[in-house]
Structure 1
Amino acid sequence: MVSSISQFSTSTTTISTSSVELKPTYYLDNFLHLIHHVNSLYRDLLSEYECSFIDEFLQLSIAAQCLYVRLSGRRGDLFRIDKIHYEEIADIPSAVAELTTSRYFGVFQPEQLSADFDDGEWLALFTKNEMEQWLSCGRRFRRDELEQLVLQQLNRTPQLITQWIKSPVVCVYGEQELQSFRLLFFGNLQQSLTDFVLRDLGIYRYQAYALEQPSRWCQSRVMLEHHLEYFNTLEIMGDVSQYQADALLAWSQAFPVAVDDELLKRKLDRTRLLIARQLERLADYDGALSLYAAIALHPARERSLRLLVKLKQWEAALALAVKMNAAPMSEEELQFLHSFVPRAFKPVDIFTDPNTAVSLIKELTSKPIDISTQTIYLASEQRSRLGVEIAALSYLQEQYPCQAYYCENALIPSVFGLYFWDVIFAPITGAFYHPFQIRPADLYDDDFIAKRQTLFARRWQQLEQQSLVEFVDDLAASFTLHQGKANPFVHWEFLTAEFSDGLLVSALQAIPRVHWLAMFRFILKDLRHHRSGLPDLIVFNSTNKNEHLYELIEVKGPGDTLQKNQQAWLQCFARAGIPASVLHVRDGPK
């Protein structure tokens, strides 16, 4: 058994932090990778203009390609030619001329700027220092004040601009095409070519998986245009807190309709949740309820139920609570019902059908399993200096013969992620569509497990039948094969050599396989929310006098209470016979 577990300590190394030398034109290589990928996988969805953009770009010289990628990645569209300098591009004027002859650049003389561009665009060409020098300012001004002074000067003497800007100005074209390419490649507009750099530098590593046409996320031009419209509307809308209720309701209707597009539906639901929550804050309860009713995402139904109770719309509240209890959207939603409904629905004579309310309350108030608790007293300065969790850990190590580790959400999800790695990253159609995914696109979908039912069944059978040595061997093999690769459950920074020799080895020796199985099943009940909420500490009994070899401990400082996902985990532990408790830390003498 020792030799099997020791594989973790012998194979464990931290991810290399040695400096990686990127080639001077790394950014061009990454851009070419992106457009080649889009061209091969999505060519049939591209417009004629987008196709010609790619085809003609690939015919440009290396210098022209480099200059375009450099400038298109910078903020703004306008650049002064005399300010463009890149060591790897020897002849900037020739590259500008080639890009201007093609479709990628426009060149404008200084006197054209105010007529052809908005003030904000061309004023960005000036640095603050330049404007202060030109205006011979006697005192310090904010940038917006300087810009107004510049505009006043140019209104009086327009020819001054040719003295201030002594070279033509480049305007970079192709923003819409680049946006389409980036969206097709990543499936979103939050990611960018920076992801390539993080990979090339070794900061992030990703699981390798096949990227083929059947697995692409977008299957039609209409679908692409709807997603583009969604992101553009989201950008224009900005922060929801700046709007009043009527405007928010208008924005909720401004987004494209998701027809047979679950990916867009989830994006719309997340955005409308933000809008509905803001409507609540503005006391537009009818507007909020109408939005929540159309959202298939937690906590939409929770917010609706809270509002209905607040508004004393008891019949609607009871009907919704019954519906939620019959088919909870998540474990978190079920925990909410257990804590909220018995309090909110009393007295039951507020209902037309009190029997239904009584039955529901009785079902939701089944006696909860007792959770072991303990209280310790620590000096407040010690708790403040170390943090409540580490202060409690130090106390336990001082008072008892034990090994204690801070593990919170890192240990159990990491072992889960290692054991089920091949199932999580199985080549399921539509799960992976670009090389920088830390998880399959459908990880949080309702049918994630159903799509992989056979793979999960085979893994469960192995887990139930294999010995502890075989279980550890499986984990060690996954650990060695995938070390450092992104996985939504695995915390590599936590699984260093130090912890593999202590925490991980001790956990695999002490925790029975049946307990691992129970914890894995609970994670699978709600993959999004059960990755968190786990106890802060794990303690191993070094004397073996206790009937348990280990215990999981949730630490709560003064005024802190258990969160819903923490309560859910503690109930899971109690049902499965997993030793766990809550340790309350109170201020007191050292």
Structure 2
Amino acid sequence: MQALLPPTYYHTHFREMMAFVTGLYGDGLGLDEREFMARFEQLGEPAQCLYIRMVNRKTAIFRMRDLNYPEIGDIAAAMDQLTRHGFVRGLECGDYRACLDSMTKPDLVRLAKVAGLPDMRSNWSKGDMVAYVHDLLSYDNFTEIEDIGASFVPHFRERVGFLLYLYFGKLNDNLIDFTLRDLGILSVKARETHAARFESVDDARAGYFYRQRLSELKAKGIDPNPLAAQIETFPAALSDHSQGLRDRLLYRLGQGFEACKDYGRALDLYGRSQAFDSQERRIRLLYAQGAVDEVKALLDDIMANPAHDEAYIFADDFYSRKFGGRRTGVLTELLRSGRTVVVDDLYRGYPEAGAIQALSAEGWRGYHVENTLWPSLFWRVFHDELSTAPVCNDFDPVPKCLRDGRFHIDYADAVVAKIAAVRDGHIADILTPARPPDQEEERLWGEVIDAFVAHAAPCAIATVLEAFAHNYYGLRDGFPDLLLIRGDEVRFVEVKAEGDQIRRNQLARLNLLKSAGFDVEIVRLSYRIDPQQTYVVVDVETTGGRSIYDRVTEIGAVKVRGGEVIDVWQSLINPKRPIPAFITELTGITHDMVRDAPTFDQVADAFADFMEGAIFVAHNVNFDYGLISAEYRRIGRGFKHPKLCTCASMRKHYPGLSAYGLAPLSREFGIELIGHHRALNDAHAAAGLLALVNEQRALKE
């Protein structure tokens, strides 16, 4: 049952946020923040509630008619107190654009008509209307037409925004996470120890500035000139975090000027940024301008002092192609060197599943692990340290030491001891069931970890885990898609579908794994019709047609390979709810038949095993697939397979028929269908349609 919130829950959340920030930063808070909180405390609770209600909304301009909060009581009295204490103010010239933004399109049309601006059209977008009025109608003339006396603006929004930034570490304009926590929707595990996210409030203020400017630059068509003109007044970056934000802002500004073909300004901005992306763009622009000596010097510097592996790969590759005579890039050569594996055409969109299926013919057991295996293993090895390490707040469960890259420093003894234990082959002795807080648990995940550590070389595992201890966030992406295990062999495979490219971070991770001692490979997929592809033709019976509400009552499944039925699977399922009478009349499935049947969670493993490596086929496939996927979601599991719809495929390959339902098609093509609307019977009939579809697919390949 969902929790009920008290009427002024938002007031409790706001005060909780302020108390948390005060407890972490204390006297380090700036005068503005301390003054705001002191003045806030002087307000009565109704006025505090009204102020919080306003600043939690995106609306910039308010009128009394906008404020309808029964839990506050006397809104007018609360507003009067806010006005007397300076928490709200009347409109000023600087609010003009926001005031226009708050108007509806009909109001803007009326305003333009009264102001004598006849060119505006009612079919314009609101943004175009606002820009038109703002450019042609002065604020003074606007106030003569519109009654702004009853309008007001909440004061101190910037200070509230900064307090939220201190708490969340990102731009945030509300406390919705607190609400979701109290409703039980968002799972939050309280920690005993917390650490300030920022080294100082001044550093946080710099980060807040850069975050705001970056957010502004996201708008399409933004002019970079006004912001670029203020560069000399930008706040100093006092930490790696704020320096990273500053560098990103300079890079975005450089992109803006480059897009406008102002290459001189772009080069200047890229040169001011320490970000690798800026270095790369600067080198490419300089090379295009013929500044060969400067480019060589920059590349030499990167190769001598690379910020990370990707930077070195770029510099070495660029130098080799432009000055060393190599015709193709290292990434292209690497991709071309990969072997080609043929998979069924239906695996388009499911390349990893297709590769696993194809490589299983070589005896490999494949797992799609990508960027989840190593973080999960790292958390299982260092669970004791990570579970007690300070976090920045309870909504951000990743310890601060991981974000800052200090884990190997703050827990140096544990890192040395545990990496040594792993290298000596004792990893099983220190593993726990933990997983990264942002990673969902899957049924096979424990099996994957156990199989991996049982067969992989201990020294190789230790090398990669040690790299994670030093740079957890720097290694958060780019790892190969698949883990393959065959006997005592372990291999990592990067899968590339047609048209895919190798990225530099992927090459860097392949190099890391290879240098650690792992076997790595790149596989390129070629899509064809595979006559030996395995299909599972499925039909479900349910309590109704809505996957959100209704439940499965029966599953019938027929496994087909090479045009032959090789296995079947069937089960009645207890839906744990009444079966409507019209459903019983249609299917013949009664309450008595399912009363002692297993529930879905009791058959989920068996059905998943039956589906392994197969393509999911059904007549009107989205219905059956959607119902089964919903059942797996209810038990916290995923369900993902390539799909084929026999209804849509028959329409494509056999056009012009009078009807494409399962029964009419079965009659048309002489397919036996006895006991229609029982799952296994319908699945057998759909398997007959699959054979017809595959005949046509093979002819048209």
- Indicate whether the TM-score tops 0.5: yes
- Residue 343 of structure 1, aligned match among 309, 315, 321: 321
Summarize the Cα distance change of 1:90–1:423 in structure 2 as closer, same or farther, 3 Å threshold. Answer: same
Q: Distance in 2 between matches of 1:287 and 1:159?
A: 43
Written as runs of structure 1 = structure 2, the 5 A alignment for 1:81-480 is: 81-106=64-89, 118-124=95-101, 126-128=103-105, 141-142=123-124, 143=126, 168-190=150-172, 192-200=174-182, 201-205=184-188, 208=191, 210-211=193-194, 215=196, 217-219=198-200, 223=203, 226-227=206-207, 229-231=209-211, 233-234=213-214, 239=219, 242-243=222-223, 249-258=228-237, 260-346=238-324, 373-380=338-345, 382-384=346-348, 386-397=349-360, 399-423=361-385, 433-440=392-399, 443=402, 449-450=408-409, 452-465=411-424, 467-471=426-430, 474-476=431-433, 479=434
- The answer to whether structure 1 residue 565 and structure 2 residue 505 are counterparts is yes
Structure 2 counterpart of 1:14: none
Query: Partners in 2 of 1:123 and 1:370 — Cα distance?
Result: 54
Match of 1:585 in 2: 525
Q: 1:209 to 1:579 in 2, by over 3 A?
A: farther
Cross-structure match for 1:15? none
Residue 25 of structure 1 is matched in structure 2 by: 8
Q: What is the alpha-carbon distance in structure 2 between the residues aligned to residue 307 and residue 47 of structure 1?
A: 42
SS at match of 1:551: strand
Say which of 495, 516, 524 aligns to 1:576.
Answer: 516
Q: Identify if the C-alpha distance between structure 1 residues 576 and 370 changes in structure 2 by more than 3 Å, giving closer, same or farther.
A: farther
The aligned residue for residue 665 of structure 2 is none
Structure 1 CA distance, aligned partners of 2:143 and 2:258? 52
SS at structure 2 position matched to 1:475: coil
Query: Are the equivalent residues in 2 in contact too, given 1:553–1:581 (CA < 8 A)?
Result: yes
Q: Is the 8 A contact 2:211 2:245 kept in 1?
A: no
Residues 402 and 539 in structure 1, CA contact (< 8 A), matched pair in contact too? yes
Corresponding letter in the other structure for 1:255 = F
Q: Displacement of 1:345 after TM fit?
A: 1.7
Q: Distance in 1 between matches of 2:263 and 2:106?
A: 51
Residue 439 of structure 2 corresponds to 492
Query: Alignment length, in residue pairs?
Result: 515
Cα deviation, residue 47, structure 1 = 5.3
Deviation sequence 1:384-419 (CA, Å, 0-9, x none): 3x522222223344x355543322111222212332
Question: Structure 1 residue 38 and structure 2 residue 21: aligned?
Answer: yes
Residue 290 of structure 1: how far off its partner (Å): 3.9
- Measured at CA, do residues 128 and 248 of structure 1 come closer, stay the same or move farther in structure 2, by a change above 3 Å? closer
Which deviations, in whole Å up to 9, do the C-alpha atoms of 1:143-164 show, x marking residues without a partner?
A: 4687789999x999999867xx
The aligned amino acid for 2:509 is: W
Return closer, same or farther for 1:442/1:339 CA change in 2, 3 Å cut-off.
farther
| Contact 1:292/1:303, CA 8 A, preserved across alignment | yes
Amino acid corresponding to residue 571 of structure 1 in structure 2:
N
Q: 1:296 to 1:35 in 2, by over 3 A?
A: same
User: What is aligned with 2:678?
Assistant: none
Per-residue deviation, 1:225: 5.2
**In structure 2, the residue corresponding to 1:208 is in which secondary structure?**
coil
Distance of aligned partners of 1:588 and 1:40 in 2 relative to their CA distance in 1, 3 Å threshold: closer
Aligned-pair distance for 1:32?
0.3
Alpha-carbon contact 2:286-2:295 (below 8 Å) kept: yes
C-alpha distance in 2, partners of 1:528/1:33?
30
CA distance in 1, matches of 2:254, 2:275: 12
Matches of residues 65-76 of structure 1 in structure 2 within 5 Å?
65-76=48-59
C-alpha distance 389-252 of structure 1, shift in aligned 2 (>3 A): farther
> What secondary structure sits across from 1:299 in the alignment?
helix
Whole-Å Cα distance in 2 between the matches of residues 41 and 322 of structure 1?
Answer: 44
What does the per-residue CA deviation read over 1:473-516, in whole Å, with 9 as the maximum and x for residues that have no partner? Answer: x322xx1xxx6xxx5xx6522x23x2235434433444343332
Contact 1:335 1:564 in 2 (8 A): yes
Alignment of 1:513-552 (within 5 A): 513-524=458-469, 526-541=471-486, 544=487, 547-548=488-489, 550-552=490-492
Q: 1:11-49 CA distances to partner (integer Å, 9 max, x unpaired)?
A: xxxxxxx74544432221211012222334444345556
**1:502 and 1:238, CA in 2 relative to 1: closer, same or farther beyond 3 A?**
closer
AA at the equivalent of 1:475: T
Whole-Å Cα distance in 2 between the matches of residues 298 and 156 of structure 1?
50
Letter in 1 for 2:458: R
Alignment partners' CA distance in 2, 1:225 and 1:327: 31
Unaligned runs of 5+ in 1: 1-17, 349-363
**The 10-residue stretch of structure 1 (181-190 or 442-451) with the greater mean CA deviation from structure 2:** 442-451
* Distance of aligned partners of 1:332 and 1:78 in 2 relative to their CA distance in 1, 3 Å threshold: same
Deviation string 1:281-329 (CA, Å, 9 cap, x unpaired) is 4454454444444433323433444344434433333333332222221
Change in 2 beyond 3 A, CA 1:72/1:127: same
| Bigger relative contact order, structure 1 or 2 (CA pairs below 8 A, ≥6 apart) | 1
Q: CA deviation at 1:69?
A: 0.8
CA contact (8 A) 1:180 1:228 kept: yes
2:661 is aligned to none
- Alpha-carbon offset, residue 556 of structure 1: 1.3
Give 5+ residue unaligned stretches, structure 2: 115-120, 531-701
**Distance between the aligned counterparts of 1:313 and 1:146, measured in 2?**
47
Q: In 1, are the aligned partners of 2:479 and 2:506 still within 8 Å (CA)?
A: yes
Is contact 2:335–2:502 with CA below 8 Å preserved after alignment?
A: no
* Inter-partner Cα distance in structure 2 for 1:455 and 1:91: 59
The residue number in structure 2 matching 1:351 is none
TM-superposition CA deviations, 1:409-440 (whole Å, max 9, x none) = 11222212332345557758xxx544443545
Give the 3-state SS of the residue equivalent to 2:444 in structure 1: helix
CA contact 1:370–1:574 (8 Å) conserved in 2: no
SS at match of 1:535: coil
Give the whole-Å Cα distance in 1 for the aligned partners of 2:274 and 2:380: 31
TM-score by length of 1: 0.73
Of the structure 1 ranges 529-538 and 46-55, higher mean CA displacement relative to structure 2 is found in 46-55
CA distance in structure 2 between the aligned counterparts of 1:462 and 1:227, rounded to whole angstroms: 40
Distance in 2, Cα, partners of 1:555 & 1:579: 15
Residues in 1 aligned to 2:85 and 2:284: alpha-carbon distance in whole angstroms: 60
User: 1:19/1:128 Cα in 2 relative to 1: closer, same or farther (>3 Å)?
Assistant: farther
Bigger Cα displacement from structure 2, 44-53 vs 142-151: 142-151
Aligned-pair Cα RMSD in Å: 4.3
Q: 2:164–2:172: 8 Å Cα contact kept in structure 1?
A: no
Q: Contact 2:250–2:272 at 8 Å: present in 1 too?
A: no
